[in-house]
Structures are given as C-alpha cells and as structure tokens.
Chain A
C-alpha cells in the first residue's frame, strides 16, 4: 500500500494537526515505511481465522447499576485550561 502526501495531509487535518511542506514530506516517507512493514503481515495465510476484535479470552464484563461517587466539581475542573464557574469553557464552536 502506498501513501500519498494528500493522504497524510487529510489524516493530519482529521487529527487537527497542521503540517508544513517539509513535515508532510518527511511523515509521508515515515508512514510509508511503517505501512510497508505492516504489509509483511499479508504474507500470512489467514483464510481459516475469524477476525479478532479482542485478543483476550474475556467476555461479558458487567457492573451493577448502582451509583458510585462522582468527582467534586473543583477536582473535575482542576486541570481545565479554561473554565467559568462550574463549566469548562472552549472557544465558541458555532456561529
């Protein structure tokens, strides 16, 4: 699988990262290397193996519907880069 600069730019945009021309160049090359390495896995015959979404043999881990402790607001908000009273605040997201 080959990866174009456009693809890297698109993924960077999804991740909200801004990349300049040199970074795009460098990351495209590096990502290509990673993907080439992963392509080695294709050499393995997996026609008899069901897709795995979890590697551990555990299932049905559930908890009872009993309320526990929540964080006090000052703790929840302690590391917020910006806040207003009991609210987290962010730059306005709609016009």
Chain B
C-alpha cells in the first residue's frame, strides 16, 4: 500500500558562547572531567543563575535568520525530571512563552522548492554527560548548563531526503551566523525525529515514533527510511504502530525500542522563579538584524544572477560562508563575463583536492589570483591541457607556487609550433598505415588513435586541438 510520510524534526544546537548559560564556567570542549563546574551549574543550594547576554543575542540572531517572530516578552521555565546528568533535577528551558515562533526554512530538491514551517526556537541549558561502565555510570558535568537552542519544525517534512536537506540548510544558515560549530560528531548539533505514516488522503495523523541517537545527517536519513519501511510493514500486515522512542543503531542499520527506567513523561513545567522575564525591544531586534550577514539562500540567488551560475552550482558554492567568499573573489578576478569555467574549476578539480585534505576550498593555500592565472592559461591561452592543468593545480596547492613557475620549471607548456607538430604528424602517419587506411575508408574514430600517438611522441605536450587539425590536414594528402 502507498502511504504519506509525516516527519517533524527537533534540533538542538549548542551555541559557541565563551561561558555557560547561567554562570561564568567556560564552555571549552574536551577539558578534564568536572573541571568547568561551579555551584550554579552543579545546582548547589543557594546559588542563583544569571542569563548570559551573548546567549540571548545569539538566540535572537538565529530566530531572525529562520524568519521567526521574536516575542517581546519571554521567560524561562523549569522542566522537572530526575536523571543523573541533571544535578538540579530540573532543566531551565522555555515552555509557554518561548523566545520565538512561526518561522520557516526553504529547501530545494531536484529543482523543486518547498517551505518548511518552524514552530519555535527557544533557549535552554544542556545536561551533563554520562559514561556507562560495568555496573556504574560516570558523570561529567562540564556540559551541564551549556547554552542550547531547540529548533522545532512543523510536521511538514515528507521524506527522508527532505529531512536531510532541511538539516543541511539549517546548519548552513547557523554557520553563516557564526554562533555554533554545528558539528554532529562533537555533539554541538543533535537531531531527534518524529515520524508517522498515513494512508494517502487520510486527514488524521498516524501514530508517531520518536527516533533518537542519530550521529550524522546521513544517519537521520537512513533511520527515517528504515522506520518508514518498518511502519509500512506493520500497517500492511494489519498491525498497529505503537508510540515509542526508538534508538538508531548505525552498525546494524536498524532501530531498537529504548529500554528505559524512565516512566511516562510528566515534566510539571512551572516558571523559573530565579530568572526574571526578558523584554526584547524592537530596537534591540533591529540592531541584531543589522548584524546578520547575507544568508546562503540570498547569496545563492545573487550568484545565479551576477555570475550566471546554475542553481545547482550556486547551491554548492554558497553552502559554506568561507568557500562562498573565496569563490566570489575568484569570480571577480576573472575578467570574462561568463564565470562558468571558474565555477567548473572550483567545484571540480579544486574541491576534489580540498576534500581529499578534509578541508574546504577556502582553506587551501591558493590565492584566488593564482587560481585564475591557471584557469586563464588552460582555458584561454591553451598553454597547457586540462589534464596537465589539474596536476599543476595540485602542485600549486602543495607548494604555493604560481602556475607559470611550475609550468616553466617542469617545461610543461604545450607545443603549438606548427612545423614541429607537422613533422610529428608525418611520422605518425608513416608508422600507422593501418589506422590511416581506416580513417581514409570512413572510420572517423581512427583519428583519435592517431592523435594519441602524436601526443605520445610529444610526451603529452602537444596542443591536442592543433595536433588533430594538423593530422587531418596532412591525411588529406596521403
């Protein structure tokens, strides 16, 4: 049977403030266990939380970038539950008056555009880290009280691929704002997914499952695909989907029901009496808005318009802010109006080299001017072939030398000297009588073999286009 898929994502993003949400403890990653803790984040009696100004500012920035309405009046609430990673036995979070609501994020799949609603973006504090060992759990409270944003989407995502794109775009936007690393491996971005299916045309939502423990965007996609298939099989066989929390097992590529000692969820939210309310003025919102840079979506549109790029190319080049900045410098340094050759080199050869180094293109030590010099030598002056160009590029990246220097040192310049090439062509024609005959009898492909032979004789340095022209001309006289 065919089903319609309904997915909602709940993303937690850790903000890179210098200090925690409500105390002055450092937020640095990877420190000794329990070295960044104090009476406030350990929940010692008598300690009082005070909100970090940067936390609020970063949160407003993200909310605005996600097109949310920032609420004028916002407050914190206590979410009560017992777990060893939560020393106060409550998490400071936001309940009925969150920082912001009603935003959206646009995604694009195969040229099809879709707008996904964002229910709310609110502030809360992170919990500690548990390390489970034989018979005992170790607790590290360094992460306790770190500033988190919870970003909740509307259940408007209709496929695992849409979920994947939503996450990619969300990460891209937040990284542009420079307020989080959004690194899933380090845990600075975490994602839970709610997924249910229903018969096409049905109005009521199906019973949902909550998926947890996905450690990459790909894992989110895989877990959703698996879970949708599982639910479809349950329904097809006349069964009922049970509402439960499932953990994704990356190795086995399966979801498992979470065995937990927690009872039913009843968080008994109430207003946090230790923190006063916060009034965010229109002026303050205006100031923060002014500091929001051009975001990926706008930059993509502008790249398409100003540099004549296709949407796919513009999307790839604007995904990362630094890479986009690098690409733009390259476009500006290239005199022609048509920037396609530059985009091809950036997305093709340079991206391949950079990703083999696990870096972005902007992180390679290659100035935009040097790259453009190389592109001009290959594409316009045809001093070297595309293939030789790629190896020159690799050497440029490794040594920081200019293209011309490398071509000079290694004597790589293409031979475009007609009389020299004519001599080579005559030799090739003499030595390959059979192919010459093939060509003469109408096998057009035979010319490529002959060009290949000529290239070999020139040690790869003959200008291939010219070589072919000369060969054709000489063959007419045979």
Closest CB in chain B relative to A69 CB, distance in Å: 7
Whether a CB of chain B sits under 8 angstroms from the CB of A24 is no
Whether a CB of chain A sits under 8 angstroms from the CB of B325 is no
Cβ–Cβ contact B54 & A65, under 8 A: yes
The answer to whether A70 and B138 touch (CB under 8 A), given A90-B84, A92-B132, A93-B130, is no
In whole angstroms, how far apart are the Cα atoms of A52 and B256 in the complex?
44
The answer to whether A92 and B277 touch (CB under 8 A), given A62-B50, A67-B24, is no
Interface string of B35-65 (1 = CB under 8 A from A): 1111100100000001111111000000000
Whether a CB of chain B sits under 8 angstroms from the CB of A44 is no
Chain A 37-95 residues near chain B, CB threshold 8 A: 53-54, 56, 58-71, 73, 76-77, 84-95
- Contact among A60, A86, A89, A93 with B32 in the assembled complex (CB-CB below 8 Å): A86
Chain A 8-51 residues near chain B, CB threshold 8 A: 13-14, 16
Q: Which residues of B contact A54 (CB under 8 A)?
A: 75, 271, 273, 276-277
Whether a CB of chain A sits under 8 angstroms from the CB of B293 is no
Closest CB in chain B relative to A91 CB, distance in Å: 7
Closest CB in chain A relative to B404 CB, distance in Å: 49
In whole angstroms, how far apart are the Cα atoms of A13 and B81 in the complex?
11
The answer to whether A65 and B75 touch (CB under 8 A), given A16-B82, A70-B37, is no
Interface string of B197-220 (1 = CB under 8 A from A): 000000000000000000000000
Determine the interface band of chain B, counting residues with CB < 8 A from chain A: 35 or more
Closest CB in chain A relative to B298 CB, distance in Å: 28
Closest CB in chain B relative to A83 CB, distance in Å: 9
In whole angstroms, how far apart are the Cα atoms of A16 and B261 in the complex?
12
- Contact among B39, B54, B139, B273 with A87 in the assembled complex (CB-CB below 8 Å): B139
Q: Which residues of A contact B231 (CB under 8 A)?
A: none
Whether a CB of chain A sits under 8 angstroms from the CB of B140 is yes
Q: Which residues of B contact A88 (CB under 8 A)?
A: 34, 84, 138-139, 141
Cβ–Cβ contact A66 & B19, under 8 A: yes
In whole angstroms, how far apart are the Cα atoms of A60 and B35 in the complex?
29
In whole angstroms, how far apart are the Cα atoms of A14 and B267 in the complex?
9
Whether a CB of chain A sits under 8 angstroms from the CB of B420 is no
The answer to whether A92 and B136 touch (CB under 8 A), given A54-B276, A71-B39, A73-B32, is yes
Cβ–Cβ contact A67 & B137, under 8 A: no
Q: Which residues of B contact A77 (CB under 8 A)?
A: 34
Q: Using CB atoms, name the residue of chain B closest to A72.
A: B35
In whole angstroms, how far apart are the Cα atoms of A65 and B66 in the complex?
24
Q: Using CB atoms, name the residue of chain A closest to B80.
A: A14
The answer to whether A89 and B139 touch (CB under 8 A), given A62-B52, A68-B19, A70-B26, is yes
A-B contact pairs, 30 of them (CB 8 A): A13-B263, A54-B271, A54-B276, A58-B276, A60-B279, A62-B53, A65-B17, A65-B54, A67-B24, A70-B37, A71-B37, A71-B39, A71-B42, A73-B33, A76-B34, A76-B38, A84-B136, A86-B33, A87-B138, A87-B140, A88-B34, A88-B84, A88-B141, A89-B137, A91-B136, A91-B137, A92-B135, A93-B83, A94-B260, A94-B261
Residues of A within 8 A of B (CB): 13-14, 16, 53-54, 56, 58-71, 73, 76-77, 84-95
